[in-house]
Amino acid sequence: MLIRGQAVALFLGYQYISVTLSKNKMFIFRRYSSFPKLPKCEFTPEKYQGPSLEKIKSIRKTHINPIITTYYGKPLAIHQGYKQWLFDLEGKRYLDMFGGICTVSVGHSHPRITEAVNEQMKTLVHCSNVYLHPQIHQYSEKLAAKLPNNLKVIYFVNSGSEANDLAILMARCHTKKQEIMSLKNCYHGMTYQTMALTCSGHYRYPVVQNPGFLRTMNPDVYKGLWGGNCCRDSPVQADRSCDCTNECEAGINYLKQFENDITYEAPKTGIAAFFAESIQGVGGTVQFPKNYIKGVKEKVNSMGGLFVADEVQTGFGRTGEHFWGFQSHGIEPDIVTMAKGIGNGFPLAAVATSPEIAQSLTKATHFNTFGGNPVSCVVGSTVLDIIEDENLQENAHNLGSYLLLELKKLKEESLYIGDVRGKGLMIGVEFVSDRVTKEPLSSEKIMKVWEGCLDYGLIVGKGGINGNVFRIKPPMCITKEDADFTVEVLRQTLKTI
């Protein structure tokens, strides 16, 4: 094709190519027959009029906490969001399949939340809890109705780290024991105390850790010592042989390991609490074998300890079949911590427990300046209404199951995918260089796929101790077209490595 001295823009297949051609230069374009095309979106973002990207980067380098690193080689600067969509400073659209790190539950800038916040801010923005205001009372009653009967007392805080930190204090005060146990590979926050609860070297500073924290083996049925092809509560199972009959043998073996650790690590008087995410999030969407969590809770309770369910990522309908992740394990926790999706990105978190356990914190004054403020309670209440009115839990179940099965098909095409797992719209895809040894795919190849996804307009997260697990945890309002686009983008980017 010979074009002289003019700009040309061509559609070849699905690929849009824009290039300026100079005099007497010949350009040959390659046709792509299956270039993934972003699903339609009727929303038009506002034109960005703020500081330039270079100015933002300069300010960040000078004034922002240096440990806060950005994703991608060229940092993505976001200007606006709408439902499952994000728009950068230039107006380019992206499908957000990470949900602001599993935080945006009902959709970016949901109009009902915007309206509710505006109305509340006209009336009352802040009111300390030493006074009464109706929003905290109405919301706590509505939230408690979503929980098991024994969990009727709600403490409002501002983040998941705060919630878990408070749960540690609550468990120790109630049981009069000190030791807290968690799973290896877990993530429960980054306050000084929850950093000791979290068990991942990525989140461990080289300082003396808080005492009184124990860990036990992570019951990972894909990479751990035990696991089979029917261990997980998921439409997709690990590629491992399984000889189970009536009970999950992997669950039994990991439970024995936990009991062994209790025997050797904990005082004879037992532990104050055991913390567990219902599905590990930051650790790479790790699911536990059947009956493991139930067995742990029974053991801990028998020794006078409490079981704390960390629902920061798995709560509020994300796992689809149930409103709470712990329901999949057939238990009623003693304490539940929640954040992220509770406020659809608004700073809101909570701890729920029984009246009896709540009494343990009356021995001194507990106060949180912003916890349960009128605006946050209105946001939380509106989120609950949206989940119900728009059938988002059902959507998470149906589309999550569909997406998991489509990703399983992709796994059959690509030897680089070692495992697909998850429940509802909490999904992990683990990449390996060898399916037999399960050696993680190199960081160079992971980054090539990850950056390639962004080039197509797809945002996914990364997790796992080696950063080789793609985390797919989108707003629960996504569509089948969004799921298909996600799979096709992964298919195309995997072809580049």
Q: How confident is the model over 343-367, as pLDDT tens digits?
A: 999 999 999 999 999 999 999 998 8
Give φ, ψ of 251 to 5 degrees. -60, -40
List helix spans (H) across 158-273: 160-175, 192-197, 249-265
**In angstroms, rounded to a whole number, what is the distance separating the alpha carbons of residues 487 and 404?**
10
Choose between 24 and 458: higher pLDDT: 458
| pLDDT tens column, 307-324 | 999 999 999 999 999 999
Average pLDDT, the chain: 92
The pLDDT, as a whole number, for residue 34 is: 63
Q: Could you give the dihedral angle defined by the CA atoms of residues 374, 378, 384 and 385, in that order, rounded to the nearest 10 degrees?
A: 150
Choose between 20 and 351: higher pLDDT: 351
- For residue 338, pLDDT beyond 90: yes
The pLDDT, as a whole number, for residue 65 is: 87
The pLDDT, as a whole number, for residue 405 is: 98
Choose between 224 and 6: higher pLDDT: 224
Q: 369: Cβ–Cβ under 8 A, 6 or more apart, which residues?
A: 128
- For residue 29, pLDDT beyond 70: no
Token pair in block for residue 183? 């799973």
| pLDDT tens column, 450-464 | 999 999 999 999 999
| pLDDT tens column, 402-458 | 999 999 999 999 999 999 999 999 999 999 999 999 999 999 999 999 999 999 999
Residue extents of the structural domains in the chain: 57-102+391-494, 112-389
Give φ, ψ of 166 to 5 degrees. -65, -40
| pLDDT tens column, 324-333 | 999 999 999 9
Contact 374, 120 (CB under 8 A): yes
Percent of the chain that is helix, strand, coil (3-state, to 5): 35, 20, 45
List helix spans (H) across 323-421: 355-358, 374-389, 392-413
**In angstroms, rounded to a whole number, what is the distance separating the alpha carbons of residues 134 and 378?**
10
Residue 195, classed as helix, strand or coil, is: helix
Q: 67: Cβ–Cβ under 8 A, 6 or more apart, which residues?
A: none
In sequence order, what are the beta bridge partners of 94?
A: 86
* 268 CB-contact burial (10 Å; exposed 0-12 / middle 13-18 / buried 19+): exposed
The pLDDT, as a whole number, for residue 69 is: 81
Distance of CA 32 to CAs 12, 36, 398, Å?
7, 10, 32
The pLDDT, as a whole number, for residue 4 is: 34
Residue 464, classed as helix, strand or coil, is: coil
CA-based nearest residue to 416, from 396, 400, 438: 438
Tally of residues, the chain? 497
Distance of CA 165 to CAs 169, 266, 315, 332, Å?
7, 21, 18, 20
- For residue 31, pLDDT beyond 80: no
Choose between 65 and 362: higher pLDDT: 362
- Among residues of the chain, what percentage have pLDDT more than 70? 93
Distance of CA 322 to CAs 262, 271, 328, 442, Å?
30, 29, 7, 36
Q: Which CATH number fits domain 57-102+391-494: 3.90.1150.10, 3.40.640.10, 3.90.230.10, 3.50.50.60?
A: 3.90.1150.10
CA-based nearest residue to 215, from 188, 247, 251, 249: 188
- Among residues of the chain, what percentage have pLDDT more than 90? 87
- For residue 390, pLDDT beyond 50: yes
Q: 14: Cβ–Cβ under 8 A, 6 or more apart, which residues?
A: 32, 33, 34, 35, 36, 37
State the pLDDT confidence band at 19, using cuts at 50, 70 and 90: very low
Element (H, E) at 181: strand 180-183
Residue indicated by tokens 């009336």: 123
Contact 421, 222 (CB under 8 A): yes
Token pair in block for residue 305? 């300890």
**In angstroms, rounded to a whole number, what is the distance separating the alpha carbons of residues 258 and 300?**
10
CA-based nearest residue to 212, from 256, 174, 254, 169: 169
What is the per-residue burial (b if ≥16 Cβ within 10 Å, else e) of 360-399?
bbeeeeeebeebbbbbbbbbbbbbbebbeebebbebbbeb
What angle, rounded to 10 degrees, do the helices at 292-302 and 249-265 form? 30
Q: Which CATH number fits domain 112-389: 1.10.10.60, 3.40.640.10, 3.40.250.10, 3.30.750.24?
A: 3.40.640.10
The pLDDT, as a whole number, for residue 447 is: 97
